[in-house]
Amino acid sequence: MTEPALVEDYHAATASERHLPEHPVIWDETLRDGEQTPGVHFSPEEKLRIAELLSDVGVAILNAGIPVVSDKEARAVHLLAHAGLKAKVLAAARTVPADVDAVIASGATHIAIFVAASNVHLRFKLKMTQEEVLQASLRSVRQAKEAGLHVAFVTEDTVRAPFDFVERLYREVQEAGADRLVVSDTVGIMTPLTFRWYLQEFRRRIQPRDLSVHCHNDFGLATANTLTALECGAIAPHVCVNGLGERAGNASLEEVVLCLESLYGVHTGIKTEKLYELSQLVEEISGIPIAANKALVGYNAFSHEAGIHTHGILAHTLTYEPLQPEVVGRERHMILGKHSGKAALVEKLKERGMTATDPMLLDLLQRVKTETEARSKEDLHHFLLEYRRLYERPGLSDEDFWTMVDVVGIRAVSA
């Protein structure tokens, strides 16, 4: 029997409109942008544990962090750079000589030099002119190239910057030796259609040798926008395990990879069967719980309770699943509850070699429904209150902060 097609032939029908990379370069940002998730911090040893699994899974590039941030961060980047990983170890730097020197000293082979580009960033954050940003960028790119590093040039808030400035800046840094150009949707305001226009225009004006994108998820569009970028010829998508990152996070590694593999038929080089193991490790070390309904790695992603759904799944898994759970290292679960049907009970009874008459099944089904509906939600409410306490205001408590202020000896200024 021929397996039913996943998406019929719609992707094939639109293939000529896409410019997908034959060999995408998966660039993971979990250890840098992922660590900037509020309340998250990794020790050098924790970074190494995650990096080893990222490398084993098949990630091509991993951003180890910004070594100039602290001695501990510098040690972490150095540790990863000398760990013998298959993945290329990258470190990030501002357009400041000391930052670039710190990356050179770390032993990382790749550098991401970043600077803001939009008017709001230049005026209120950097307090620099466009010309000053351009000159600082050129100096940093040349400094890194002279040290033999592979250079990616990144602008924060690219898509809200004046396009004429973007064009001039990227053209000149590429001429100065930048190997890869990264476009950032820093506050996640692009839509797929708008991003398609932007990237087509970017490519037409600048003709990048190697294009990369960094998409944030403020409106829930990071994965969609990243896929759009790949359709437009981007080669190196930035991703984070479990979609971690600033505010609402970044494009999710597992979502981008599985969309490429399963929807587009593009081989990513990622061992997808290890993605759940990776997701669990990052959840454990970061302390950020995976949402139950998170795509692919959420606890409910391959769970079924509704009677119609379980009946369909038992007949053929593709009725209510787009791919086999084993593809991402998962297992399928039939949940017994209010919405269950007889088919789920029949399947459950098979675990102990049992069969039941129809009246028995109806009796058992009614008992299952009554029991689950009668259960108290007290434990769940307690869990949610504790969850909110921990995650609404992560990081240092006000009490701890003001205690530190007293220890330092800071006093209020008299009126």
Domains (range + CATH), the chain: 18-286 (3.20.20.70), 303-374 (no CATH), 382-408 (no CATH)
Q: Are 259 and 229 in contact (CB under 8 A)?
A: no
Which residue, chain included where needed, has tokens 């962090």?
Answer: 65
Instruction: Report whether pLDDT(10) > 50.
Output: yes
Weakest mean pLDDT among 80-89, 152-161, 300-309: 300-309
φ, ψ of residue 303 to 5 degrees: the values are -110, 145
Can you give the pLDDT at residue 219?
98
Give the pLDDT mean for 96-117.
Answer: 98
Can you give the pLDDT at residue 304?
86
Token code pair at residue 236 = 């190196």
User: CA of 199: how far to CAs of 38, 168, 183, 187, 192, in Å?
Assistant: 30, 15, 9, 17, 10
- The Cα 349–Cα 132 span in angstroms is 72
Instruction: Report whether pLDDT(254) > 80.
Output: yes
pLDDT classification of 392: cutoffs 50, 70, 90: confident
Query: 0.85 exceeded by the pTM?
Result: yes
In this predicted model, what pLDDT tens digit does every residue of 13-27 receive, in sequence order? 777 778 899 999 999
3-class DSSP state for residue 14? coil
Weakest mean pLDDT among 140-154, 277-291, 372-386: 372-386
Can you give the pLDDT at residue 343?
87
Which sign, positive or negative, has the C-alpha torsion 189, 195, 201, 207? Answer: positive
Q: Are 80 and 315 in contact (CB under 8 A)?
A: no
Give the pLDDT mean for 240-264.
Answer: 97
For the chain, give the percent of residues with pLDDT over 70. 97
Give the pLDDT mean for 290-305.
Answer: 93
Can you give the pLDDT at residue 3?
57
Strand partners, 185: 215
SS (H, E, C) 110-125: EEEEEEECCHHHHHHH
Half-sphere exposure of 55 (CA within 13 A, CB side): 18
Nearest by Cα to 61 from 222, 220, 182: 182
pLDDT classification of 4: cutoffs 50, 70, 90: low
Token code pair at residue 333 = 């679960």
Give the pLDDT mean for 108-113.
Answer: 98
Instruction: Report whether pLDDT(414) > 90.
Output: no
Nearest by Cα to 235 from 179, 166, 197, 163: 179
Weakest mean pLDDT among 137-151, 192-206, 226-240, 326-340: 326-340
Which value, to the nearest 10 degrees, does the dihedral of the CA atoms of residues 295, 37, 235, 205 take?
A: 120
Count CB atoms within 10 A of the CB of residue 414. Answer: 4
Can you give the pLDDT at residue 9?
65
Instruction: Report whether pLDDT(103) > 70.
Output: yes
Using CB atoms within 10 Å of the CB of residue 248, give its burial: 0 to 12 exposed, 13 to 18 middle, 19+ buried.
Answer: middle
One DSSP character per residue, 192-212 reads HHHHHHHHHHHHHHH--SSEE
Nearest by Cα to 226 from 236, 215, 241: 215
Can you give the pLDDT at residue 71?
97
For the chain, what is the mean pLDDT?
94
User: CA of 142: how far to CAs of 91, 184, 216, 372, in Å?
Assistant: 16, 22, 29, 65
pLDDT classification of 318: cutoffs 50, 70, 90: confident
Give the pLDDT mean for 354-382.
Answer: 91
pLDDT classification of 114: cutoffs 50, 70, 90: very high
Instruction: Report whether pLDDT(37) > 90.
Output: yes
Q: Are 322 and 6 in contact (CB under 8 A)?
A: yes
Q: Are 408 and 402 in contact (CB under 8 A)?
A: no
For residues 315 and 39, the model is more confident at: 39
Can you give the pLDDT at residue 1?
46
Instruction: Report whether pLDDT(334) > 80.
Output: yes
In this predicted model, what pLDDT tens digit does every residue of 191-229 receive, in sequence order? 999 999 999 999 999 999 999 999 999 999 999 999 999
Can you give the pLDDT at residue 279?
98
Q: Supply angle C-alpha 110, 114, 117, rounded to 5.
A: 150
Token code pair at residue 235 = 């080669």
Weakest mean pLDDT among 57-66, 182-191, 264-273, 374-383: 374-383
